[in-house]
Chains A and B, each alone.
Chain A
Amino acid sequence: MNQAAKSAGIESVWRGGISPFAVSWRKLMMWLFIITDGLLFAGLLAGYGFVRLASPRWPNRAEIFHLDFIALMTFILITSSATMATAVGAARQGRPKTVVRFLLLTILGGLSFLGCQAYEWSKLIGEGARLSTNPWGVPLFSAAFFIITGFHGSHVLTGVLILSIVAVRALRQRVSPEGVELAGLYWHFVDLVWVFIFTLFYLI
Chain B
Amino acid sequence: MVGEHSARVHEEPVSFWRRYIFSTDHKVIGIQYYLTAMAMALVGGTLAMLIRLQLGWPEAKWPLLAKIFPRGMSGGVMNPDFYLALITMHGTLMIFFVISLGLVSGFGNYLLPLHIGARDMAFPFLNMLSYWTVVPACVIILASFFVEGGAAASGWTAYPPLSAVEQAVPGSGLGQTLWLLGMALFIASFTMGGLNFVTTILNERTRGMSMMRLPLFIWTLLIASILGLLAFPPLTAAAILLLFDRHGGTSFFLPSGLYFGERVLPHSGGSPLLWQHLFWFLGHPEVYVLILPALGIALDLLPPFTRKPIFGYRLTVYSLFAIGVLSMIVWGHHMFVSGMNPYVGEFFAIGTLAITIPSAIIGFNLIASLWGARLQLRTPALFALGAIAFFGTGGLGGIFLGNATSDIQLHDTYFVVGHFHFMIGGVTLLALFGGTYYWFPKMFGRMMSERLGKLHFWLTFLSFYAVFLTQHFLGLGGMPRRYYAFSKFEFLAPIRDMNAFISIAAFVLGAAQLIFLVNFFWSLFRGARAEQNPWRATTLEWVAPTPPPHGNWGETVPEVHRWPYDYSVPGAPEDFTPQTVPPTVVTVTQ
Of the four ranges (under 10, 10 to 19, 20 to 34, 35 or more), the interface on chain A belongs to: 35 or more
Contact A32 B229 (CB under 8 A): yes
Interface residue? A173 (CB, 8 A): no
Contact A42 B233 (CB under 8 A): yes
Contacts of B5 in A (CB 8 A): 14-15
- Among B249-257, B464-472, B519-527, the one that faces the other chain is B249-257
* Residue among A14, A18, A41, A50 with the highest chain B CB neighbour number at 10 A: A14
Contact B212 A1 (CB under 8 A): yes
- Among A22-30, A60-68, A104-112, A190-198, the one that faces the other chain is A22-30
Instruction: Tell me, rounded to whole Å, the shortest Cβ–Cβ distance linking A33 to chain B.
Output: 6
Contact B252 A143 (CB under 8 A): yes
Contact A50 B250 (CB under 8 A): no
Contacts of A138 in B (CB 8 A): 269
Among A13, A50, A131, contact of B207 (Cβ-Cβ < 8 Å): A13
* Chain A residue with the shortest CB-CB distance to B237: A43
* Chain A residue with the shortest CB-CB distance to B282: A43
Interface residue? A126 (CB, 8 A): no
Contact B238 A2 (CB under 8 A): no
Tally A-B pairs: CB < 8 A.
160
Of the four ranges (under 10, 10 to 19, 20 to 34, 35 or more), the interface on chain B belongs to: 35 or more
Contacts of A36 in B (CB 8 A): 191, 194-195, 229-230, 232-233
Interface residue? B1 (CB, 8 A): yes
* Chain B residue with the shortest CB-CB distance to A32: B195
Which residues of chain B in 269-296 are interfacial with respect to chain A, using CB atoms and an 8 Å cutoff? Answer: 269-271, 273-274, 277-278, 281
Contact B206 A13 (CB under 8 A): yes
Contact A131 B271 (CB under 8 A): no
What's the Cα separation between A139 and B212 when bound, in Å? Answer: 54
Contact B269 A54 (CB under 8 A): yes
Interface residue? B209 (CB, 8 A): yes
Chain B contact surface mostly: helix
* Chain B residue with the shortest CB-CB distance to A49: B274
* Chain A residue with the shortest CB-CB distance to B250: A143
Instruction: Tell me, rounded to whole Å, the shortest Cβ–Cβ distance linking B97 to chain A.
Output: 21
- Among B240-248, B376-384, B399-407, B479-487, the one that faces the other chain is B240-248
- Among A3-11, A85-93, A117-125, the one that faces the other chain is A3-11
Contacts of A40 in B (CB 8 A): 233-234, 236-237
Instruction: Tell me, rounded to whole Å, the shortest Cβ–Cβ distance linking B520 to chain A.
Output: 34
Contact B252 A29 (CB under 8 A): no
Contact B270 A35 (CB under 8 A): no
Among B6, B269, B274, contact of A139 (Cβ-Cβ < 8 Å): B269
Contact B248 A50 (CB under 8 A): no
What's the Cα separation between A55 and B250 when bound, in Å? Answer: 14
Instruction: Tell me, rounded to whole Å, the shortest Cβ–Cβ distance linking A48 to chain B.
Output: 9
Contact B207 A9 (CB under 8 A): yes
- Among B47-55, B128-136, B197-205, B453-461, the one that faces the other chain is B197-205
* Chain A residue with the shortest CB-CB distance to B206: A13
Instruction: Tell me, rounded to whole Å, the shortest Cβ–Cβ distance linking B373 to chain A.
Output: 29
Instruction: Tell me, rounded to whole Å, the shortest Cβ–Cβ distance linking B559 to chain A.
Output: 8
Among B207, B238, B281, contact of A10 (Cβ-Cβ < 8 Å): B207
Instruction: Tell me, rounded to whole Å, the shortest Cβ–Cβ distance linking B384 to chain A.
Output: 29
What's the Cα separation between A78 and B196 when bound, in Å? Answer: 31
What's the Cα separation between A2 and B563 when bound, in Å? Answer: 12
Contacts of B200 in A (CB 8 A): 25
Contact B211 A20 (CB under 8 A): yes
Interface residue? A165 (CB, 8 A): no
Which residues of chain B in 419-467 are interfacial with respect to chain A, using CB atoms and an 8 Å cutoff? Answer: none
Interface residue? A82 (CB, 8 A): no
Instruction: Tell me, rounded to whole Å, the shortest Cβ–Cβ distance linking B189 to chain A.
Output: 13
Instruction: Tell me, rounded to whole Å, the shortest Cβ–Cβ distance linking A185 to chain B.
Output: 14
What's the Cα separation between A37 and B212 when bound, in Å? Answer: 30
Instruction: Tell me, rounded to whole Å, the shortest Cβ–Cβ distance linking A78 to chain B.
Output: 25
Instruction: Tell me, rounded to whole Å, the shortest Cβ–Cβ distance linking A177 to chain B.
Output: 11
* Residue among B123, B208, B250 with the highest chain A CB neighbour number at 10 A: B250
What's the Cα separation between A103 and B268 when bound, in Å? Answer: 45
Contacts of A20 in B (CB 8 A): 202, 211
Contacts of B202 in A (CB 8 A): 16, 20-21, 28
Interface residue? B557 (CB, 8 A): yes
Interface residue? A161 (CB, 8 A): no
Contacts of A13 in B (CB 8 A): 204-207
Contact B204 A5 (CB under 8 A): no
Contact B557 A47 (CB under 8 A): no
Query: Given A2-B210, A32-B195, are A140 and B252 neighbors across the interface (CB < 8 Å)?
Result: yes
Interface residue? A147 (CB, 8 A): yes
Query: Given A14-B204, A132-B248, A140-B252, are A147 and B240 neighbors across the interface (CB < 8 Å)?
Result: yes
Contacts of A6 in B (CB 8 A): 207-208
Which residues of chain A in 59-86 are interfacial with respect to chain B, using CB atoms and an 8 Å cutoff? Answer: none
Among B2, B191, B195, contact of A15 (Cβ-Cβ < 8 Å): B2
Identify the 3 closest CB pairs spanning chains A and B, nearest first: A132-B249, A43-B237, A16-B203
Q: 7 A–B contact pairs at CB < 8 A?
A: A5-B207, A8-B207, A18-B203, A21-B202, A47-B274, A140-B250, A147-B250
